[in-house]
Structure 1
């Protein structure tokens, strides 16, 4: 890896460590991040490393909820992605059907569950986040995170007056801590890449019906992993994902 890339990764690492400390130091006020970026990527995809490096910056940005879904359909090229899960691939295909697309690709960035762009294009990702925020298609429901003795309390707020009035699923997306992988085969053979917020599990924790509601997660589940994101996401009658209207990140507590 070039020295410039190493310098950027070191800067991102320091920023993320600082953010982790803040996130676990105490209760978080109710907030509405700029948006949610879901990156579909693969260690076996030659076009993905630039997207993975840009994603590291997004993961360090406290105003963005950034999740990386490693997919498995490029494994046949010679390298089995060590972070891939079939459930991640299934989520991407669900988005494909929701967007009425004919195919999937990597690196694909889904923004706020509403649209998708090339995940390696900083201009496309930043532009989509800004445009949605201005159009009222950003985060519309505040989510507050607080801590009890052995759990995490999630308070989802009311729908904005005159705004949305819909049901949403409360989706908990667990992710791994950052890790560096040396790739031994395939199109990225010999490269060492650091991956951030790689999704390891997705669970539906409940429903939100437009009114303020409280949910609770056991701290033990978060401690086992790197952390999790809480998404309020509309889901259609066929189970396909729709707009994300609220989001928050819960980091693994620091000792």
Structure 2
């Protein structure tokens, strides 16, 4: 479903905190959790109140299960008026999608929209179209190009970023591994859907200027954020604050391989 651009557009803003006092955290992490090498980052913008979304939600779940793509699900809130309030929707997710609309020079937003590596989009219910973008980016150099690793142990979180070119934000995206929802009203009334990697919070935890960098965060703050997993995105942010190309990614998860 398509939505026109809002007359007063959302701004894409991420919380920037000094590292020394940073509160980034996820609950129920294992003693160790390692990052993976991902081929791409796929961000799905979806809604429990959108009848076109369940096939895209299923495809996102498949990508999350396979594990070679970092798959994240953002539930938007602009369909809540249609009879069902999405239990996972956040205004931050809606703002992020409108930010992408600016970056991608679109007049509006729609669900289900899959944004690939922050630079292109396709209907999230069309697996072939999403895969075509992943393959195109890999072939043309638009894919993930900077090594990013993240690990957790008793000492805290260590984020390591390799060298590259340009500047980017280090973004922490906190997500739930799995949520099963019984939808009682709206376009999907009567459905029970399991959502994977639903994003709960987003914040910027540091900046990268093209040189190899290691960022360490204390273990004492790991319980401060919602979610059971955390994705680390190395993402270009435009001057107006809108999200841009994702240069690298890693994931710490409460369930190995999820």
Instruction: Give the TM-score taking structure 1 as reference length.
Output: 0.84
Cα distance change on mapping 1:218 and 1:179 into 2, 3 Å: farther
Q: Please name the residue that 1:236 is paired with.
A: 238
Cα distance change on mapping 1:24 and 1:148 into 2, 3 Å: closer
Q: Please name the residue that 1:91 is paired with.
A: 96
What does 1:204-223 align with in structure 2 at a 5 Å threshold?
204-219=204-219, 220-221=222-223
Cα distance change on mapping 1:142 and 1:126 into 2, 3 Å: same
Q: Please name the residue that 2:65 is paired with.
A: 60
- More moved, 32-41 vs 137-146: 137-146
Task: Using the TM superposition, give the Cα deviation of residue 103 of structure 1 relative to its aligned residue in structure 2, in angstroms.
Answer: 0.8
State whether residues 223 and 253 of structure 1, in contact with CA within 8 Å, keep that contact through their aligned partners in structure 2: no
Task: Using the TM superposition, give the Cα deviation of residue 137 of structure 1 relative to its aligned residue in structure 2, in angstroms.
Answer: 1.0
Q: Please name the residue that 1:250 is paired with.
A: 252
Task: Using the TM superposition, give the Cα deviation of residue 152 of structure 1 relative to its aligned residue in structure 2, in angstroms.
Answer: 1.4
Kindly provide the CA deviation profile for residues 141-166 of structure 1, in whole angstroms up to 9, marking residues without a partner as x. Answer: 1112233314111101111xxxxx21
> Would you tell me which structure has more strand in proportion to its own residues?
2
**1-structure distance, mates of 2:71, 2:39:** 11
State whether residues 174 and 222 of structure 1, in contact with CA within 8 Å, keep that contact through their aligned partners in structure 2: no
In the alignment, structure 1 residue 166 sits paired with structure 2 residue 166: yes
Structure 2 residue runs of 5 or longer lacking an equivalent are 1-28
Out of 14, 17, 34, the residue aligned to residue 28 of structure 1 is 34
**2-structure distance, mates of 1:24, 1:125:** 32
**2-structure distance, mates of 1:158, 1:193:** 41
Structure 1 residue runs of 5 or longer lacking an equivalent are 1-22, 160-164
- More moved, 189-198 vs 135-144: 135-144
State whether residues 75 and 86 of structure 2, in contact with CA within 8 Å, keep that contact through their aligned partners in structure 1: yes
Task: Using the TM superposition, give the Cα deviation of residue 224 of structure 1 relative to its aligned residue in structure 2, in angstroms.
Answer: 5.4
Choose between structure 1 and 2 for higher RCO, CA contacts under 8 A separated by at least 6 residues: 2
State whether residues 223 and 252 of structure 1, in contact with CA within 8 Å, keep that contact through their aligned partners in structure 2: no
Cα distance change on mapping 1:68 and 1:27 into 2, 3 Å: closer
State whether residues 142 and 156 of structure 1, in contact with CA within 8 Å, keep that contact through their aligned partners in structure 2: yes
What does 1:39-58 align with in structure 2 at a 5 Å threshold?
39-58=44-63
What does 1:179-218 align with in structure 2 at a 5 Å threshold?
179-218=179-218
**2-structure distance, mates of 1:109, 1:36:** 10
Q: Please name the residue that 2:18 is paired with.
A: none
> Would you tell me which structure has more helix in proportion to its own residues?
1
State whether residues 32 and 139 of structure 1, in contact with CA within 8 Å, keep that contact through their aligned partners in structure 2: no
State whether residues 171 and 204 of structure 1, in contact with CA within 8 Å, keep that contact through their aligned partners in structure 2: yes
Out of 65, 69, 82, the residue aligned to residue 74 of structure 2 is 69
**1-structure distance, mates of 2:69, 2:31:** 19
